[in-house]
Amino acid sequence: MSKGAGGALLDMLAVRRTPGRPIYRQIFAGIRERILRGELAVGTRLPSTRTLARELSVSRHTVMQAFEQLQAEGLISSQVGDGAYVLDGGAGHGFAAAPDKPSEAGPDIAPRQVALSSRGARLAGSGLARRPELAQRAFYPGLPALDLFPRAVWRRLSNRHLAASGTGLYGYGDVAGLPALRAALADYLQVARGMTVAADDVVVLSSTWQALDIALRLAGDTGDRAWLENPGPEQVHAVVRAAGMSPVSVPTDADGLVVAEGEKRAADARLAIVNPSHQFSTGGVMSLARREALLAWARRSQALVVENDYECEFRYDDRPLTPLHALDGGQGVLYLGTFSNILGPGLRLAYAVVPPGLRTAFLAAKQVVSGHTALFNQAVLADFIGEGYLVSHIRRLRDAYGERRRALMQALTAQLGSRATLHATGRGTSLILELYDGQAAAISRAAAAQGVAVKPLDAYYQAGADLNALVLGYAAVTEAEVPRAVARLKAAFERS
Amino acid sequence: MSKGAGGALLDMLAVRRTPGRPIYRQIFAGIRERILRGELAVGTRLPSTRTLARELSVSRHTVMQAFEQLQAEGLISSQVGDGAYVLDGGAGHGFAAAPDKPSEAGPDIAPRQVALSSRGARLAGSGLARRPELAQRAFYPGLPALDLFPRAVWRRLSNRHLAASGTGLYGYGDVAGLPALRAALADYLQVARGMTVAADDVVVLSSTWQALDIALRLAGDTGDRAWLENPGPEQVHAVVRAAGMSPVSVPTDADGLVVAEGEKRAADARLAIVNPSHQFSTGGVMSLARREALLAWARRSQALVVENDYECEFRYDDRPLTPLHALDGGQGVLYLGTFSNILGPGLRLAYAVVPPGLRTAFLAAKQVVSGHTALFNQAVLADFIGEGYLVSHIRRLRDAYGERRRALMQALTAQLGSRATLHATGRGTSLILELYDGQAAAISRAAAAQGVAVKPLDAYYQAGADLNALVLGYAAVTEAEVPRAVARLKAAFERS
């Protein structure tokens, strides 16, 4: 080798004694980089291990480890008594000559784009919003009361399973969910929702998003249509678009989804995604006539009804209505529930009650997209439900939400009563504030700057509803916090 | 009302005092069912609440609760002083007349099938196998050593977070993963795999299946092709088929994937899914020349290389090779790792190192298909890695697996040495047993009857490889268990 190459190599090999970063790996990585960049040409003889060890002040054994690794990678040939030579592994295979040679790409060079498929572009471009920082939790709709998380009970039940001697919770689980949890959920749904459900009908999932993604892929092809309630959460539109399908907005009135209008707009839709026990914004419930019309359409057209029974637990004046699932005998309705708004979204636990005719397909699809759901929290939740904590926790939430709602209504009336009217419904966890003057979008922006998240009601409507109102979620805002948060909202009114 | 209708109603209303099943719900459900079946005709007057209360021996308040609920459902009209009448909510809306009237569908009637989309049928029909029961864990390939799960440390770290006062782990998390875990993984990959990875490059997932599903949808459309190694795990073929794509088997030789053959068969493939540091069955590694050829093809055709670096941790004679990701500068390689075979699949924790040009799309897709990953175990794992437990746990596994492998080799040689040759490689967690006589498929079946899971090597090959050999995983079988499990396998040899 030329003196120059060896000198350059030594200059480059800056060895640092960093814990967890073995010296031999540093030497190996340094030489490898030079070879791959073509800076050490094929046939170059490397300095001897003895020389390198002395110059770098490391043991010869360390250098030999690095050389062994270089040899294993096919970058050098190294034979006892002969020294080590650079092989044609680097530049010789077109690596260095590639137009977008990666080792030259510094952080200032734009990353190479990976080509997306058509469906990939749709999936990536759905526009599903990421959740806001918790700093803005007042009054972001849909955030649960994390301050009421049943910490002590959860810890005790967790420790029961952490201390158990079995290995079951660390191994492979049933893709349908932990049997104990499925049984507990079936019992719970029977009592709380009047549904006739067996443990076998229940599939545990990590979120309702996962259930929707599976349902859309199973029931719809690219270009197929799905009915969605208008108004309704924009996220559901995003998920439908992400699946390559067309969301069809079906209007709702005081009786819920106008099924006849859905049939007029898209009788051939493959799915309808609805929340009959909690119509968004109107706060109404879908009437029995409409529920039957929806089921009749679904039966005629072999479409799947997805009943996303979100927030069915939170009713203050009356009791929840019978789910579509129960009306239909569970034959053509995929019923979805979640613990995100009861315990917290961090747990990632939701469930579906799957019609018998869809069960095999649903489980096969879930096996593909994720396999079984994480086991530990399933076991804790099964105990939590089975030992009665869920029912009392929901009661506690319902009481607290009732109080938070009252506190919010009082504060809004006191501070903003002259500027807006309040529309409170007997369910859910949000209120609607209809503005006399000002502009909802502008106030929403000004409120964000004040650290308060209020969404314009328009955002829940497809095709400009021209409603000058704001949606305020109150579940995550304690009574003590309400007055200050409303004061900040008032400031936003003044600055918008 | 006629006396008869009231009598029939009373006959039907069997009320039982079951804890958790309120009486009023039982009365409500019973009457609802009769109305929906059309057995109580429109206009029928129900017995008075007083009469029903007396006949059923319940309080009048209970009956009134049931009636309120029936009224809320739109099933009856009920006015003070007038009594309650059945509305045309049931039979009047075509419910009872529907050909597949669900309330008539007993358990002996075949469930109504839900129509699947084309892609749904592919997704459901991929044939991805469910995992076997743990009873058959000897010698099912790919099962981890759950008996070595670091229970005490995990419990201690879990309690640290269970006792913490913050609510962060119960709320919404970053879809990319907990920042502390992403940073810990980046450090780990740098040290253990020589990769240049920042925390921002890492995305936490619930399994490598989830990563594969997202990658396939992002990079490939229906009908597109993907390269897979042959031999290789059948599950990967199933996942590719489930995504509506065509798996193209590319042969491997002693140098790994024969890239030129892949280009001949499907130069236009959109992805290649490979494990270069651990070629299945041959136990070889992909040579540098082949790795560079693969990357060059991927660059030319803008294809995505998915590097599923499964079991890279388990090498007994040498060190793992540089990942494709590092060779490529991380530009076009999606690198996947999992904790399923290090800690246990029950945790559902895996990760991807995502090329910068794919990151936005990958996170948007993950938001759609699942949202963020469950937070609690992410926090525990971040500590586990950051405090050095992962490195020592892997060392412990490596030692144990080395011993289990030796024990298995000894037992096989002693008990089956005259019937088969052993092919052990210096990595992974399985051995290959090449049979002198007998038939691998028949022995595999006979072994299953003996409670031993051995897979024919053929199962890993596309298009009949005609190899008479069995694959034996040893990670989950302790040294003490080995001799008896091998004796059962020997019995299977004799009975096949």
ipTM of this predicted structure: 0.81
- Say which DSSP state B77 is in: E
Residues of B in contact with A175 (CB under 8 A): 130
> pLDDT tier at B142 (50, 70, 90 boundaries)?
confident
How far apart are the C-alpha atoms of A193 and A401, rounded to whole Å? Answer: 20
Mean pLDDT lowest among A194-198, B45-49, B306-310: B45-49
**pLDDT tens-place string over residues B272-318:** 999 988 777 666 788 889 999 999 999 999 999 999 988 777 766 66
Distance from CA of B150 to the nearest CA of A (A): 11
Mutation target for A interface from B42, B369, B375: give the one with most A CBs within 10 A.
Answer: B369
Report which of residues B108 and A67 the model is more confident about.
A67
pLDDT at A92: 35
Q: Do B219 and A328 touch (CB under 8 A)?
A: no
Closest to A157 (Cα-Cα) out of A385, A396, A384: A384
- What percentage of chain B reaches a pLDDT higher than 70? 86
Of A216, A207, A211, A203, whose CA–CA distance to A175 is shortest?
A203
* Average pLDDT for A225-251: 92
Facing A69 at nearest CB: one of B113, B187, B319: B319
pLDDT band, residue A136 (cuts 50/70/90): low
pLDDT range class, residue B40, cuts 50, 70, 90: confident
Region B134-145: mean pLDDT is 77
Q: Do A74 and B287 touch (CB under 8 A)?
A: yes
Q: Which residues in chain A are contacts of B370 at CB distance < 8 A?
A: 206-207, 209-210, 213, 348, 370
User: Quick one: closest CA in B to A225, which residue?
Assistant: B117
User: How far, in Å, CA of A304 to CA of A107, rounded?
Assistant: 48
Contact flag A134-B357 (C-beta cutoff 8 Å): no
DSSP character at residue B348: -
Instruction: Indicate the range of A154-168, B48-62, B434-448 predicted with least confidence.
Output: B48-62
What is the rounded average pLDDT of the residues A314-324? 72
Strands B271-274 and B225-230: what pairing?
parallel
Asked if B120 lies within 8 A of A365 by C-beta distance, the reply is yes
Reply yes or no on whether the pLDDT at B108 is more than 50.
Answer: no
Indicate whether this model's pTM tops 0.90: no
Coil, helix or strand at residue B337: strand
- Top-confidence residue, A125 or A268: A268
Q: Which residue has the higher pLDDT, A322 or B205?
A: B205
E strands of B31-72, at which residues? none
Which pLDDT belongs to residue A197? 93
Facing B219 at nearest CB: one of A117, A128, A331: A117
B interface test, pick of A31, A103, A116, A190 with most B CB neighbours within 10 Å: A116
Cβ–Cβ gap B98/A330 under 8 Å = no
* pLDDT score recorded for residue B283: 66
Residue B219 predicted with pLDDT over 70: yes
Taking 90 as the threshold, does the pLDDT of residue A477 lie above it?
yes
In percent, how much of chain A has pLDDT > 70?
86
Q: A109 pLDDT exceeds 50?
A: no
Residue B461 pLDDT grade (very low, low, confident, very high; cuts 50, 70, 90): confident
pLDDT of residue A470 exceeding 80, the answer is: yes
pLDDT of residue A110: 52
Report yes or no: A82 and B280 within 8 Å, Cβ to Cβ.
Answer: no
Asked if residue B100 has pLDDT above 50, the reply is no
Closest B-chain CA to A322: B73
Instruction: Say yes or no for a CB contact (<8 Å) between B25 and A347.
Output: no
The single-letter code of the amino acid at A137 is R
Supply the mean pLDDT for chain B: 84
- pLDDT confidence of residue A143: 81
pLDDT of residue A103: 36
Which among A103-117, B289-303, B454-468 has the top mean pLDDT? B289-303
Which residue carries 């506190």 as its tokens? Answer: A407
Q: What length is written for chain B?
A: 496
- The percent of residues in chain A predicted with pLDDT above 90, rounded, is 49
Check CB contact under 8 Å for A146 and B125.
no
Q: How far is B496 from chain A (nearest CA, A)?
A: 29
Rg of chain A over all Cα atoms, to the nearest angstrom: 30
Band (B93; pLDDT cuts 50, 70, 90): very low
Average pLDDT of the residues in B386-409:
94
* Banded model confidence at residue A390, pLDDT cuts 50, 70, 90: very high
Among residues A159, A211, A144, A167, the alpha carbon closest in space to that of A404 is found at A144
Residues with Cβ within 8 Å of B161's Cβ and at least 6 positions away in sequence, in order, are B169, B376, B379, B380
pLDDT of residue A89: 47
Q: Residue B99 has what pLDDT?
A: 30
The answer to whether B364 contacts A191, with C-beta atoms less than 8 Å apart, is no
Residue A131 has pLDDT above 60, yes or no: no
